[in-house]
Amino acid sequence: MRWWRGVDLRAAVVPAWCALLTLAIAAPWLRAGHILSYDMVWVPELDLDRPEVWGLGSGLPRAVPSDAVAALLGAVLPAALVQRLFLMGSLFLLALGMARLLRHRHLVGQLAAATFAVWNPYVAERLVLGQWPVIVALAAFPWLIGTLVSRDGPRWSVVTIALAAAALSPVTGVMGLVLALAVGRRNGVVRIVGLAALVNAPWIVSGLLHASIARTDPAAVRLFDVQGEGSFGRLGSALTLGGIWNTEVVPTSRTLLLAVLIGLVLAAVMVVGLVTMWRDDRALLGGLAAAGAIGIVVALSGWLAPGTVARIVGDVPGGGIVRDGTRWLALLVPLEAVALGVGAHTALGRARHTSWEVPTIVLALLVPLAALPDIAWGVGGRLEPTTYPAAWSDARRVIDKTSTSGDVMVLPFTAYRAPAWNDRTPVLDPAGRFFGRTTVTNDELDVSGRLIAGEDPRARRIGRILADGHDVPRRLARAGIGIVVIETDVPGAEAAAKPFADSRTIPVGGTGLRVVALDGARPATIDPRDRTIMTVTWSLAGLTILLALIGLLRSLAGRLDRKPAEHRPRQVTQP
């Protein structure tokens, strides 16, 4: 007997298809280097002893716990590999998880759902914008849904891990809870909320410690509201999982009339799927529809009710999680992907044994791909790996060795860069994470020529010192800055360097960076009480996830030990 005769080829098709979809998007990422785009900043070594990694910095915990998770994994694996595992692993698990939600439907329906789950404007735009925690959370959603609606009852280890994956950022952590309550409230609201609170605790507690600054500039609401893409209009863009505020990251195909026509075809299939689910799976439909409705309402709120949203983000601590409303469209992705898969399943059932059977199968697989062809190859080549210049590594080395105390500040004092060595792709200044010390960066955002105020009081204080221009080096040292890194190959570098003409320069190999030492600086101190609180918080969250992982591994081991009866060796009686 050949080795493959016992293999279920049907079961192998789904993961193979999901892997193919992932590779079609991520093929450029197989090259060496780091992928840097807008908010996606990955550095060769993110130090674990930096206070901001653990929510003890001066600013809001926007990168808590994502930075800590990346730093922990980067301590045992190359950082570039960790980045690939997050990005490519998330795309694969997103497709596979969505297909598994339809494992009782036709194979074509599973493949259609898997395709749409990763091959849509939301995924493409969030990838280019660099919001990798959103992609990780999206990948966790179908697995969270699947276990909560299981007829055998939820596996709480899976629920915990899925909620933890969603909790890599504050807004996705809240979305994970909303989705869990929408689809699994019958399994116990208190238990779901309790688990979500434990795994989201790091950013929640850190946010409470920063409650005095946890308010966002209300002017940002109008700048972050849903945008029309091509002929879709604002409502159509949101319903088709687009409408992101940053129009520079929108795939070109979204602006074509053909995209609208294909979108109408997909919508028709989804409607068929929704009708089918109304007849045979109302429980799942109800939960997905509730979550999707919340997602679309939040996405449109900045456009339809800007005054209300402005009051929320400006007056309510933590209200900034609704500033970028279109990010909440992640809650609509499961509903649309499942509806499309069920619709394809229904259409194929009608076409079975007719001349339309093969065309229906082909269309079910190809139409979602045709709707957004430029998500392939790193979203049309926008996400290409790059390598940090040698000067950066040498600057880190000399900063680590210098006896000069104090934190690091980077000039020019702007949030984003578009360095030539990154093919002029805009990116949040990597220097904020690159060096082995706390690094103060500007958290003000320039959106369409309008400046949005930041929340970090220390950055604001340093900004005032730089703007005043009087006795800058001494005043920076008094503010705890001992090292100034000047990126000399970006606009504004010459003007930013003028106050430090007479300051001591630390030699750095390579070009593009100048490192200045300021004597007499003392690094910012951390309140021991805050440190203790965050230590306990991280310990509780980590213990919760560890116990869930142990439970999941034990469950998987038990399933492997239980062989199906048909695979057991037959008893042969000798005559």
pLDDT tens digits along 159-206: 999 999 999 999 999 999 999 999 999 999 999 999 999 999 999 999
> First and final CA of the chain: distance in angstroms?
25
Residue 395 · residue 508 · CB < 8 Å: yes
The number of angstroms, rounded, from the C-alpha of 555 to the middle of its chain's C-alpha atoms is 28
Contacts by 377-381 with C-beta closer than 8 Å and gap 24+?
Answer: 377/24, 377/25, 377/27, 377/28, 378/25, 378/26, 378/27, 378/28, 378/29, 379/25, 379/124, 379/127, 379/128, 379/251, 380/251, 380/252, 381/28
Range 317-323 contact pairs with CB under 8 angstroms and sequence separation of 24 or more: 317/207, 317/211, 317/214, 317/215, 318/170, 318/207, 318/214, 319/215, 319/216, 320/60, 320/214, 320/215, 320/216, 321/170, 321/171, 321/174, 322/298, 323/216, 323/220, 323/221, 323/224
Single-letter amino acid code for the residue at 338: V
Quote the DSSP letter at residue 105. Answer: S
- Each residue's pLDDT tens digit, 72-88: 999 999 999 999 999 99
Give the whole-angstrom CA distance, residue 376 versus residue 21.
Answer: 9
Structure tokens at 16: 């193979």
The reported pLDDT for the residue numbered 571 is 47
Which distant-in-sequence residues (6+ apart) come within 8 Å of 151 by Cβ? Answer: none
- Chain centre distance of CA 130: 7
76 & 139 share domain: yes
Contact call for residues 385 and 31 (beta carbons, < 8 A):
yes
Task: Give domain status of residue 118, yes or no.
Answer: yes
Are the C-beta atoms of 68 and 304 separated by less than 8 Å?
A: no
Contacts of 232 (CB under 8 A, 6+ apart): 240, 242, 243, 254, 259, 260, 263
Within a domain: 301: yes
Q: List the beta bridge partners of residue 514.
A: 486
> For the residues 17-31, what does the mean pLDDT come to?
98
User: Do 221 and 321 form a contact (C-beta atoms < 8 A)?
Assistant: no
Q: How many residues does the chain have?
A: 575
Q: What is the rounded distance in angstroms from the CA atom of residue 225 to the CA atom of residue 48?
A: 36
For residue 558, being part of any structural domain is answered with no
Last residue of a domain, one of 517, 550, 568: 517
Do 203 and 301 share a domain, yes or no?
yes
Residue 540 lies in a domain: no
Share of the chain residues as helix, strand and coil, in percent rounded to the nearest 5: 65, 5, 30
Which of these three, 364, 381, 398, is where a domain ends?
Answer: 381
Do 401 and 327 lie in one domain? The reply is no
Contact in structure between 320 and 310 (CB atoms under 8 Å): no
**pLDDT tops 80 at residue 572:** no
User: Strand, coil or helix: what is 240?
Assistant: coil
Say how far apart CA 270 and CA 548 lie, in whole Å: 35
Alpha-carbon gap, residue 495 to 411, rounded angstroms: 10
Question: Which of 363, 381, 399 is at the close of a domain?
Answer: 381
User: Considering the chain, what is the average pLDDT of its residues?
Assistant: 94
Judge if 343 and 464 occupy the same domain: no
Q: In terms of domains, do 267 and 250 share one?
A: yes
Q: Are residues 111 and 179 in the same domain?
A: yes
How are beta strands 513-517 and 504-506 bridged, if at all?
antiparallel
Distance CA 389, CA 510 (A): 8
Residues 6+ apart with CB under 8 A from 440: 58, 407, 408, 409, 410, 456, 458, 459, 462, 481
Q: Cα dist. 356→262, 275, 344, 350 in Å?
A: 19, 21, 13, 9
Contacts of 5 (CB under 8 A, 6+ apart): none
The answer to whether residues 331 and 431 belong to one domain is: no
> Bigger pLDDT: 523 or 283?
283
List C-alpha distances in Å: 454 to 215, 216, 535, 561, 573: 9, 8, 27, 55, 80
Same domain flag for 345 and 404: no
As a whole-number percent, the residues of the chain with pLDDT over 90 amount to 89
Q: Is residue 566 part of a domain?
A: no
Question: What mean pLDDT do residues 266-289 have?
Answer: 97
Angle formed at CA 18 by CA 345 and CA 41, multiple of 5 degrees? 130
Q: Is position 88 within any domain?
A: yes
Phi, psi of 196, deg, nearest 5: -60, -40
Residue 41: pLDDT over 90: yes
Q: Are residues 187 and 282 in the same domain?
A: yes
Same domain, 345 and 442: no
Q: What residue numbers bound the domain in which 95 lies?
A: 24-381
**Averaged pLDDT, 276-299:** 97
Share of the chain above pLDDT 70, in %: 96
How many domains, the chain?
A: 2
Question: Which phi and psi angles does 37 have, rounded to 5°?
Answer: -155, 120
Residue 255: pLDDT band by 50, 70, 90 thresholds? Answer: very high
- 375 and 404 part of one domain: no
Give the pLDDT of residue 564: 54
Give the Cα-Cα-Cα angle 167, 169, 174 (nearest 5 degrees): 60
pTM above 0.85, yes or no: yes
437/413 same-domain check:
yes
Residue 323 belongs to some domain of the structure: yes
Residue 22 has pLDDT above 90, yes or no: yes
470, burial (CB in 10 Å: exposed 0-12, middle 13-18, buried 19+):
exposed
For tokens 């990948």, the residue is 139
The DSSP output letter for 386 is B
Q: Which residues pair with 410 in a beta bridge?
A: 485
Neighbours of 191 (CB within 10 A): 14
In a domain, 7, yes or no: no
pLDDT category, 8, cuts 50, 70, 90? Answer: low
